Chains A and B, each alone.
Chain A
Amino acid sequence: MTMTAPPPGKKLNRIGLELQAYRGSKTTLCAGCGHNAISERIIDACFELGIEARQVLKLSGIGCSSKSPAYFLASAHGFNSVHGRMPSVATGALLANQKMLAIGVSGDGDTGAIGIGQFVHLMRRNLPLVYIIEDNGCYGLTKGQFSPTADVGSTLKNGVVNDLPPIDTCLMAIELGASFVARSFSGDKKQLLTILKAALSHRGTAMIDVLSPCVTFNDHQGSTKSYAYVKDHDDPVSEVSFVPYFEDISIEYDPGTTHEVSLHDGSRIYLKKLEEDYDPTNKEQAVRVLHETAARGQYATGLLYVEPQKPDFCSLLNLVDEPLAHLPLERVRPGREVLEEIMERQR
């Protein structure tokens, strides 16, 4: 007779849930697809932050990337909308219920091509939304055509060379008014997770461009979005760490080498200097560094820009605290005297 040890206690988060509670349905994307790793990090981030999945909206457009909301947070409300137009759907949904935490997942075609117009105006509005671009430089679902984030000189599998300059979504987002802009790599588990946790704690548009290689159509020699290329050309601007508001941890840091950023909910981000001292609240520096690293053929990753106190769109619209969607009749239909007053003015 042998004694079997009891199963080790499963790890529970601060609201008493297991990691399993944050999973979605089984992925139908290719094995090894960067997007799956991103879904995993979203699951980890929500688990670690103790987010209630039911309070989350997951929205997407169309494409491989946009399928992924089905693969995380099964109990969240999801909306796989139309190609390139997720920002408007997210805008409407958040205006209807600003209490929800919204995660939008897009792709480089969904954002950079068909959706560039809505992307631009989303950034301008600073809607409280985590906007993730799963960026592989190609259209996977239609079998590998170039997208607008493909670099000049990058090649398709069949040898066709891209001769148009790429759209840098991070540069655009910074210029347009997004209040949290980051770039990461699906293969960098630690950095991506940290950035996601910070983004989920930020109030305003958190735009994260995640380089996410397409193993089927864009992972070959000659592609600048392959695992090997991104790994070799990843140039983090700083080392990022995150302390959520509910963790009572005091961090000792050297102000000469580390920047601290406090978010509206009391969470803190720490950015430790690597080569150059990088101040993520300095727009000019962010823009310069992005241009310089791109010129070297590298990817500046990390938290590129943050403006934690910038008013988000719902604040600008001066909305009542309760979700508009759930206001009772008496608060949305004015009384008889109002109609009478209006009628009187037309007589």
Chain B
Amino acid sequence: MSSTDLARESSAATPGASRVVNDFSIQVATVNGSGSQTANLILIRSIFQMGIPVSGKNLFPSNIAGLPTWYTIRANKHGYIGRKKEIDLLVAMNPETAKEDVLTLDAGGVVIYDEPLNLKALRSDLVFYPVPFDKLVAPVCPDAKLRRLVRNMIYDGVLAHLLGIDLGEMEKALNRQLGKKQKALALNLGALRAGADFAAANLPKQDALYIERMNETAGKILIEGNAAAAIGCLMAGVTVVGWYPITPSSSLCENLIDYMRKYRMDKETGKATFAIVQAEDEIAAIGMVIGASWAGARAMTSTSGPGISLMAEFTGLGYYAEVPAVIFDIQRVGPSTGLPTRTAQGDILSTAVLSHGDTRHPLLLPSSVRECYTMAMDAFDLAERLQTPVFVMSDLDLGMNMWMSDPFAYPERALDRGKVLDRETLTRIGEWGRYKDVDGDGIPYRTLPGSDMPSYFTRGSGHNARGQYSERADDYVNNLERLQRKFETAKDLVPAPEIDRRDDVRIGLIAYGTSHWAIVESRDQLRQEADLDTSYLRLKAYPLAASVEAFLRDHDRIYVVEQNRDAQMASLMRMEYPAELTAKIRSVLHFNGLPIDARSITDSVLAQEGFAVGAGVRQEVAGPAAVGGE
């Protein structure tokens, strides 16, 4: 990893120091396409199986093979599963980055490396473990062509021995991963044992890092956010999906395809209770969703920033013609192509007001894989209840990385199909008009093609309450004001913020999405390092609930933590709230493509609070409130 990615802070493991148990991070530096994914997955799973809270972050290039890749695993006994900036143990497999990777480690760091790379000479303040990977792999994998793929399993064996990871757990994880592929399983098991045996015979323990069994993961699952969201869609009863491949969202629809084929084929006829179409582009994908939702199906698409930009026009149509749609935005770094394999919360502002004219769209903001699951279901209910496009704003970190979670609960609530006109309602309301606000909540009644209810003509052009074409000023204004009323209604329907309010605390933190995990840790750091107590409001949705305004009112200084440069959520607050409240808002901004970490938040808050932040902890920053340069 480049030096810009790493802070230099004195770290835990120094030779002879006391044992560091279940509280460190491992970084594996490999070449993209070298089959390291299996080795990394086995590593994280085996730690998880030993009951230790763990998280994994895959830092990969936009490339099929050949460019550097880093995988970071953090084991943390306290349950902190946000990213940690500092690397305690490096597995250096990539000749191209090995030197820089080693040079950027903190003193006391541990390096397992491919012996020919000869890294030992680079520094005298690290612990080095050379491993002759090629020599070890040859006897266990006679087929030279397969060696490249099996070779990485050796470092798992070395780590098992050095850290005290139960080799049996690794074998179990490997079995689970490759159980069906007997030949691959045998080769990998051989490599795993070869690594462990080599370490036992040749690498006396010189570092202080240890993995020891705990009981913090019993019953828990490890899953990627995109898979979790796909399960949510499955359970939400989605029937039509239009999608276009784009990193980092593709795995959402790919997971969904697998689940639907397995669980949504009609038992009697063997036919599909769903249609999934890989569209020609994102415009067609959202067009299909709009068409299907208009005709009464639960329809969704999944994309990332560039796709969101393309979906702008249809989103405006959905807003104005009042057609439900569910859109997952697995955010990546923009603008433009940006860093397509890095994470950000950079689409918040543009998505909230996506499309021309006056538009506003509900955004759901999942922080966890469990919320990817529940908010997928919420999104369909809200889209049909509000008759409007609803966005689920996940990100690459949440969508594509493995997260620990409690298992998901089965949905007890029936589907909310919203206000679809039926005989009974028609009798009650008398005369039906497609865009008539009968109930005062801004939400009209719609009818579905193929039903026995009256039809109407749907259009993105001006229309009156009866759905007829109109260019009249009063019709236009009435309609726009009703849409605004509907958005007010949405405030009470979207998931409410989660608030941890401390008495007599003057500082409030507001965050959303994946920043949550770093906030949890940062609040502890603020308390421990500077005796700063904070309240915390985690946003789960836009529009902002009334409790957000109260939270601003109740605190003197509010730090809005976001993974973008332009303080996008704070900007939405400034659009909505009076100046005396928004004047209290400060921003903590992180936008270098890596998942936000607690240290960055803590340092930024402390600096803005006037504390002297230790030299070396923070490098130059882009601005007074930014740590994006990291």
- A62-96 to B contact mask, C-beta < 8 Å, 1/0: 00000001100001111111100101111111111
B284 CB to closest chain A CB (Å) equals 4
Give CA–CA (A69, B456) in the complex, Å.
12
Give CA–CA (A327, B281) in the complex, Å.
28
Chain B residues numbered 317-364 whose CB sits less than 8 Å from any CB in chain A: 317
- Given contacts A321-B271, A326-B450, A329-B415, A75 and B455 within 8 Å (CB-CB): yes
- Given contacts A99-B450, A326-B450, A334 and B291 within 8 Å (CB-CB): no
| Residue from the list A70, A88, A314, A317 in contact with B288, Cβ < 8 A | A88
B74 CB to closest chain A CB (Å) equals 19
Q: Are A336 and B410 in contact (CB under 8 A)?
A: yes
- Of A55, A76, A89, the most chain B CB neighbours within 10 A belong to A89
Contacts of B410 in A (CB 8 A): 336, 339
A144 CB to closest chain B CB (Å) equals 21
| Residue from the list A314, A317, A329 in contact with B237, Cβ < 8 A | A329
Give CA–CA (A314, B292) in the complex, Å.
13
Give CA–CA (A334, B352) in the complex, Å.
33
| Residue from the list A57, A78, A85, A95 in contact with B297, Cβ < 8 A | A95
Contacts of B448 in A (CB 8 A): 325-326
Q: Are B460 and A92 in contact (CB under 8 A)?
A: no
Give CA–CA (A305, B237) in the complex, Å.
40
Give CA–CA (A325, B458) in the complex, Å.
18
Q: Are B271 and A325 in contact (CB under 8 A)?
A: no
Q: Are A89 and B288 in contact (CB under 8 A)?
A: yes
Contacts of A81 in B (CB 8 A): 287, 290-291, 317, 460
- B280-294 to A contact mask, C-beta < 8 Å, 1/0: 110111111111111
Chain A residues numbered 300-343 whose CB sits less than 8 Å from any CB in chain B: 314, 317-321, 323-327, 329, 331-334, 336, 338-339, 342-343
Contacts of A90 in B (CB 8 A): 291
Q: Are A97 and B449 in contact (CB under 8 A)?
A: yes
Chain A residues numbered 72-126 whose CB sits less than 8 Å from any CB in chain B: 75-82, 85, 87-97, 99-100, 117-118, 120-121
Nearest opposing residue in chain A for B238, CB measure: A332
B474 at the interface (CB under 8 A from A): no
Q: Are B283 and A93 in contact (CB under 8 A)?
A: no
- Given contacts A91-B287, A334-B264, A76 and B279 within 8 Å (CB-CB): no
Give CA–CA (A102, B410) in the complex, Å.
38
Contacts of A93 in B (CB 8 A): 291-292, 294-295, 449
Give CA–CA (A325, B237) in the complex, Å.
10
Contacts of B459 in A (CB 8 A): 78-80
Nearest opposing residue in chain B for A86, CB measure: B287
Contacts of A78 in B (CB 8 A): 455-459
Q: Are A79 and B291 in contact (CB under 8 A)?
A: yes
Q: Are A343 and B287 in contact (CB under 8 A)?
A: no
Count: A-B pairs, CB below 8 Å: 212
- Of B275, B296, B458, the most chain A CB neighbours within 10 A belong to B275
Q: Are A320 and B408 in contact (CB under 8 A)?
A: no
Give CA–CA (A188, B273) in the complex, Å.
43
| Residue from the list B242, B272, B414 in contact with A318, Cβ < 8 A | B272
Contacts of B290 in A (CB 8 A): 81, 88-89, 92
Contacts of A332 in B (CB 8 A): 237-239, 264, 273-274, 298
A250 at the interface (CB under 8 A from B): no
B contacts with A, residue count (CB < 8 A): 70
B167 at the interface (CB under 8 A from A): no
Nearest opposing residue in chain A for B48, CB measure: A347
- Of B223, B239, B277, B281, the most chain A CB neighbours within 10 A belong to B239
B266 at the interface (CB under 8 A from A): yes
Q: Are A118 and B280 in contact (CB under 8 A)?
A: yes
| Residue from the list A120, A325, A342 in contact with B292, Cβ < 8 A | A325
Q: Are A85 and B272 in contact (CB under 8 A)?
A: no
A118 CB to closest chain B CB (Å) equals 6
Q: Are A96 and B295 in contact (CB under 8 A)?
A: yes
B182 CB to closest chain A CB (Å) equals 20
Give CA–CA (A77, B452) in the complex, Å.
12
B493 at the interface (CB under 8 A from A): no
Give CA–CA (A324, B270) in the complex, Å.
15
Q: Are B266 and A96 in contact (CB under 8 A)?
A: no
Chain A interface residue bracket vs B: 35 or more
Q: Are A117 and B281 in contact (CB under 8 A)?
A: yes
- Of A59, A96, A332, the most chain B CB neighbours within 10 A belong to A96
| Residue from the list A92, A326, A327, A338 in contact with B293, Cβ < 8 A | A92
Q: Are A88 and B461 in contact (CB under 8 A)?
A: no
B538 CB to closest chain A CB (Å) equals 24
Q: Are A85 and B284 in contact (CB under 8 A)?
A: yes
Q: Are A88 and B291 in contact (CB under 8 A)?
A: yes
Nearest opposing residue in chain B for A326, CB measure: B296
Contacts of A57 in B (CB 8 A): 295, 449
- B203-236 to A contact mask, C-beta < 8 Å, 1/0: 0000000000000000111110001000100111
A54 at the interface (CB under 8 A from B): yes
B611 at the interface (CB under 8 A from A): no
Give CA–CA (A326, B469) in the complex, Å.
29
Q: Are B458 and A79 in contact (CB under 8 A)?
A: yes
B240 at the interface (CB under 8 A from A): yes
Give CA–CA (A346, B314) in the complex, Å.
36
Nearest opposing residue in chain B for A117, CB measure: B280
Q: Are A118 and B287 in contact (CB under 8 A)?
A: yes
Q: Are B280 and A92 in contact (CB under 8 A)?
A: no
B295 CB to closest chain A CB (Å) equals 4
Q: Are B235 and A333 in contact (CB under 8 A)?
A: yes
Give CA–CA (A118, B263) in the complex, Å.
31
- B236-250 to A contact mask, C-beta < 8 Å, 1/0: 111110100000000
Q: Are B271 and A320 in contact (CB under 8 A)?
A: yes
Nearest opposing residue in chain A for B377, CB measure: A333
| Residue from the list A54, A85, A120 in contact with B287, Cβ < 8 A | A85
B299 at the interface (CB under 8 A from A): yes
B269 at the interface (CB under 8 A from A): yes
Contacts of A117 in B (CB 8 A): 280-281, 284
Nearest opposing residue in chain B for A75, CB measure: B455
Nearest opposing residue in chain B for A70, CB measure: B457
B274 CB to closest chain A CB (Å) equals 7
Q: Are B296 and A96 in contact (CB under 8 A)?
A: yes
Q: Are A333 and B411 in contact (CB under 8 A)?
A: yes
Q: Are B279 and A88 in contact (CB under 8 A)?
A: yes
Q: Are B450 and A323 in contact (CB under 8 A)?
A: yes
Chain A residues numbered 1-58 whose CB sits less than 8 Å from any CB in chain B: 54-55, 57
Nearest opposing residue in chain A for B276, CB measure: A317
- Given contacts A96-B292, A334-B264, A324 and B287 within 8 Å (CB-CB): no
Give CA–CA (A93, B294) in the complex, Å.
7
B166 at the interface (CB under 8 A from A): no
Contacts of A323 in B (CB 8 A): 295-296, 450
- Given contacts A82-B313, A320-B272, A92 and B240 within 8 Å (CB-CB): yes
Q: Are A92 and B455 in contact (CB under 8 A)?
A: no
Give CA–CA (A333, B399) in the complex, Å.
23
B259 at the interface (CB under 8 A from A): yes
Q: Are A342 and B259 in contact (CB under 8 A)?
A: yes
Give CA–CA (A176, B314) in the complex, Å.
26
A-B contact pairs, 19 of them (CB 8 A): A55-B450, A77-B455, A80-B459, A85-B284, A91-B242, A92-B289, A96-B292, A96-B294, A99-B450, A118-B283, A121-B284, A317-B277, A319-B272, A325-B239, A329-B414, A332-B298, A339-B231, A343-B221, A347-B220
For the complex of A and B, 7 pairs with smallest distance between CB atoms: A88-B287, A92-B291, A332-B237, A325-B296, A92-B292, A96-B297, A89-B291
> Hey, which bits of chain B sit against chain A, CB under 8 A?
219-223, 227, 231, 234-240, 242, 259, 263-264, 266, 269-275, 277, 279-281, 283-299, 313-314, 317, 407-408, 410-411, 414-415, 447-450, 452, 454-461, 469
9 further interface pairs, Cβ-Cβ under 8 Å (given A78-B456, A320-B266): A70-B457, A75-B455, A77-B457, A88-B284, A88-B288, A92-B290, A95-B288, A319-B272, A332-B237
